[in-house]
Chain A
Amino acid sequence: MPDQLEHLPRLTHLLPCREAQIKTLLLLLGEPEHYSYPSIFIYGHRASGKSHVTLTLLKELKMPHVVVNCVECVSLGLLFEHVLLSLFGSSHTSLPRGPSLSDFVRLYRQLCSEDPAKQTRYIVLDHAELLRDMSANLLPGFLRLQELVEDNVTVIFLSEIVWDKFRPNTGCFEPLLLHFPDYSKVELQQILAQDSCPSYSPELYSSYISILLGVFYSVCRDLRELRHLAALNFPKFCEPLEKGEAKESDAHKLWRNIEPHLKKAMQTVYLREVSSVQWEEQQQKEEKEVGELRGLSAYTHVELPYYSKFLLIAAYLASYNPARTDRRFFLKNHGRIKKTNFLKKHEKTSNHLLGPKPFPLDRLLAIFYSVVDSRVAPTASIFSQISSLVTLQLLTQVGHDDQLDSPKYKCAVSLGFVRAIASDDLHQHALRWTADHRTLHLRHHPVGSHPTSCCLWVRCGPRAAVWEPVCVQRRGIPRQPPALDQPQLCVDCAPAWHWLR
């Protein structure tokens, strides 16, 4: 048994449920005087204890180390200076302006020769995925820093992304990979139950935590977030106890009291629809006093000037109608078009499933003039309204080759938004020219009865970097209000949807 494992029991006590990882790390770090492996790559989801375990380990074992948060390093110089300052003290750092990796290595060697390492030095790079965007040689350089500076130094990378996404195509030194898996439900229960409230018994708090996990575990596995939610809702849980309506042993009564409350919390405060301060204030008041607190996404109405509304509607029509159909919709004498083959085969797919298409400025204005009932002069303010719609991100400008002569735009708002804008009866008639009537029918199905109604943009797991379509009925809750006009199909529903069509 190596001596470095002598710390294991103490550390396991400090860091529960991470015994295997601590053991591996301790073995990897080895004796302080020995050279350690040049680079270690630790990955795992948010709040799975990567940085906490690493830092506690380094601190407890009193190893010389420096922690750099890569988000904060807006330039390379900042990163290098931070490392040198913490490892060698502030006295003699003279990095040139706009330093490169070789400057850093040169200076490191120079400083290191004055102050050679007695123990392994550790450089911990948090949010290491940002290193990829900095200089191309930075990541490979840090991976074999030990070799470059000829010093006893180990670089530890912490990231939420797997190593495969890091590997540069020119090849590099492969670090040791160490994965921190998510905490299981039992582990979460064990960790959360540790910090019980001093005024109540630990058993009570533990039972509270199990209720909390019962509600939230399906949506959120983030330890920090869970702890935050536990703290926010605990006073409500204790309310019957303080009023004397229930005893600590009345588990069922307490559960009945808190469960609907937690469900409400899941839809509001967890999604940050309602801020935690507002949530607490609401709890303190009596239920009758407060009206329903409106979440952030409840305020979707945007007041726009008269012509801006028409411009936005025109942009929507231009984005979602095929350009071929313009003549038919907006011209009085459009000639005869055969009804049977009016839409080509590829156009029969709902445009709302395909997303907005770019259109040139001319087309936008042509549709705008035919949609507005009165005669509008092409004034400067009409054009400036288009650009201000772009600033407001209701339209997006696409393409970069010919911005001056023929700019192209895309409509960035949904049918629901445009409908809300057109709800003013003056604008209502403008929207009747949508080629895509299927989508309109879709909207009449009540939520829940149609296969697509359960398919919404939902964040898949708390840590995912991209939006993924997930069926709400199966996992989690919608983060945004149902956007039925843009259904995103999940694996389960897609076949049903296609069959229906």
Chain B
Amino acid sequence: KIHDFHNLQINQFYLSHKCVHCSSASGHFVFFIIYATRSLIIQIHQFILQEDLNKKMLDGLLEFVKKSAASFWCRDDDWMSRMRASEIPTAALVLGVNMPDHTITFESMTELLHDSLTPFVASVQAKECTAMKQLMQKVLQRLMGTNVMVDEDECHLCMSVCVCHLQKSPVKSPRKRLSSSQSEFLQSPPVVVIFRDLEAFSPQVLQDFILVCSQYVHQLPLVFIFGIATSPSTIQRMLPHSVSSLLCIELFQSLSCTQHLATIIDKLFLTSKFHFKFSAKVLQVLVGIFLYHDFSVCNFIKGLQLSLLEHFHSQPLSVLCCHKQEALVHAQQLNDRDGCVMKSQTSLLHHPQGVCQKLLKSLHKYHKNFYPALRCLHVLTSILPKYPLGKQIRELYVLCLEKKVWETQEYDSAMQLIRMLAKDELVTCLQKCVEILTFCKSKKLKKVGEGSAENRPVPPSEGNTLEVDHHALLLHPFCVPAKYTLYASTIKCINHLHHPYSSFNYSFQTLLEMKECRRTRRKTPYEILRNAVVDYIDNLVKTHLYPPESQPLYEVWYYSSSGTVRRHLNATPRTSIQTALSHPYCYLQNEALKNDSGIISSAAPDICIIYKLHLECGRLINLYDWLEAYATVATAAEGKDPSAIEGGKVDELKHARFIRAVSELEFLGFVKSTKQKTDHVARLTWGGC
């Protein structure tokens, strides 16, 4: 696709400018190739995700458009339809406030409608339609295609022209071949008008447009689609009853943004197929930007792409960040060419040279085991009260990336809580775990899953315990009447224990005490089994959920420079300007400027002096006082006695420099002239507060 190609070119540009330090041309080339493929993979992933995420809503919408078009053409001439006022079918899409993502959604929607239903789709944005005339022009232009000139003559900006055109013109067959059941749409496709951002439209324009369209509702199968970011009550706020009574509004809601994020993390990060990973901090920065600032999936993906670029740019070992076979080949080349690169990596300090391939293999294996184990742990901990290890899997993931999870206090409390789970809860969790383990890629873990799923005895291996436990749990003769009482008492006990969790102020201490009392009692078979299961899970976590830093060669997959990401994605323009003005040394690298005290250095540029002086003033600054203060500092810089300027005479040159610096400060938005007093300027930053 053109879009992808364009991106590639940009990437190439980026790399060719920034990777000049790459040792050899061939190395550079390899980097680029790998990077390019990776970037493409991300885009494909993202596209699939987008389609999936909005699929339900888009399908509903498509059905709606189809239905309303059908009802238009099959309008029977009975009493009912004659009596009813004819309304324009309108779909209100509530898309959430993540406005950057809407573009993609609407693009895919337009394409979908265009491909499967109708060639007449006009999608308009508020900023291009400030008046009725522009709106009409845009809609007609898009409906009739660019081959029909909607000239500036304005004489054809009329719906009736459009009616004539659409009725006369032979309908171009949609790009995709349609099945025979849909063929009636070939003769009479609906006319869809999409308002992408309803909130931003001027209400008057919208009302007029709807009024005009309602005049033609008998001749054209019109369908409106409103893209709404906030809530559907916006429609009622914008349109008076006389206009909204012309619409037949149906609501469609998209998934919430947090669900989108969860899916992306699940599909892109919690899988061993995708080799590029974030360290805990980078992930936190990106998720933070998502949750705190914009809710935008697009921006999240952009952040991902940026860190990918940075990773390949800054990390020489990133050449190994690819599929296992390719990586092994690259590793061989690296070994031959420059071993020093390998040696420089901290994670390889204690490993002899030349074991790179072996280490790479183990890295792949580690990841294959890591994610299933993580998911299992999450299944078990996400049902616990108060979520000691986090409600979302991303929280648990970050925790596991940061440190050894089993050494944390939260983990201990979680394990203790699991040890108190009731049978039905535990069994459902274990069944989910079995499913996860069955479908995972790791052979070792798979065995566990398969064994328990197929009721087949498994050769003694690591997974054996779980298998046995699981069987025991599922098939254990709990239902035997004699033992039933025992079981019941356990359940009762557990229920009793469970009760205080749900109340708001349970203390963990009491729980522990209760547990202590119970320990004195003889354990029921269920309890014994449960303990065994928990021990097994604990063991699973301790074997597989090592933080990645512990693995040799982890730098190959993990990108860890959170500062760079934050600087690029969450820029602080105000702070940088203020730093530049108050500490010019950061930017100018002049030794004379290097001082930490708050003294105004006279060697600093004029604008810095002026800035420092203005910080001491209130909301209004007297220009003359300011000038005098500046002249004092500037004279000191020349080594003269500051008292020499007495008598109100300021050097003309200094005066000019002062005026220039003040206008620069005004340009930067720190001061502005005020009408209150002619010889004063007003501060714009915190001066008034």
The interface of chain A, by Cβ under 8 A from chain B, is: 46, 69, 71-72, 74-75, 77-78, 81-82, 95, 97-98, 195, 197-199, 224-225, 227-228, 230-232, 234, 271-272, 275-278, 296-297, 299-308, 326, 360, 362-363, 366, 377-382, 384-385, 388, 391-394, 402, 404-406, 459, 462-463, 479-480
Contacts and interface: CB of A to CB of B under 8 A. Distances in A.
B257 interface: yes
A397 to B, nearest CB: 13
Interface in B79-111: 79-80, 82-85, 87, 89-90, 92, 94, 96-97, 99
A379 B572 contact: yes
Contacts of A77: 153-155
A306 B155 contact: no
B686 A230 contact: no
8 contacts: A81-B155, A95-B155, A195-B83, A275-B250, A299-B251, A305-B294, A391-B199, A393-B200
A231 B155 contact: no
Nearest to A85: B155
Given A197-B79, A277-B250, A391-B197, A406 B672 contact: yes
Contacts of A393: 199-200, 230, 234
A303 B574 CA distance: 28
B84 to A, nearest CB: 5
B248 A275 contact: yes
A302 B230 contact: yes
B248 A74 contact: no
B158 interface: yes
A74 B154 contact: yes
Given A272-B244, A299-B231, A308 B97 contact: yes
Interface residue SS majority, chain B: mixed
A377 B89 CA distance: 46
Contact of A362 (B152, B253, B573, B685): B685
A195 B80 CA distance: 11
Contact of A228 (B84, B152, B251): B84
B689 A225 contact: no
A266 B153 CA distance: 46
Contacts of B155: 77-78, 81, 95
Nearest to B232: A296
A464 to B, nearest CB: 9
A90 B572 CA distance: 63
Contacts of B250: 275, 277-278
Interface stretch (B5-13, B187-195, B235-243): B235-243
Interface of B: 79-80, 82-85, 87, 89-90, 92, 94, 96-97, 99, 131-133, 136, 152-155, 157-159, 197, 199-200, 208, 211-212, 215, 229-236, 240-242, 244-245, 247-251, 253, 256-257, 289, 291-295, 570-575, 669, 672, 684-686, 688-689
Contact of B84 (A231, A304, A307): A231
Interchain residue pairs A-B with the least CB separation, the first 6 = A231-B83, A228-B85, A74-B133, A306-B292, A381-B293, A296-B232
B245 A272 contact: yes
B232 A462 contact: no
A37 B388 CA distance: 86
B85 A299 contact: no
A78 B154 contact: yes
A29 B575 CA distance: 76
A95 B156 CA distance: 13
Contacts of A308: 97, 293
Given A362-B686, A394-B230, A406-B684, A75 B157 contact: yes
Given A224-B85, A378-B574, A381-B294, A296 B199 contact: no
B159 to A, nearest CB: 7
Contact of A230 (B83, B89, B247, B293): B83
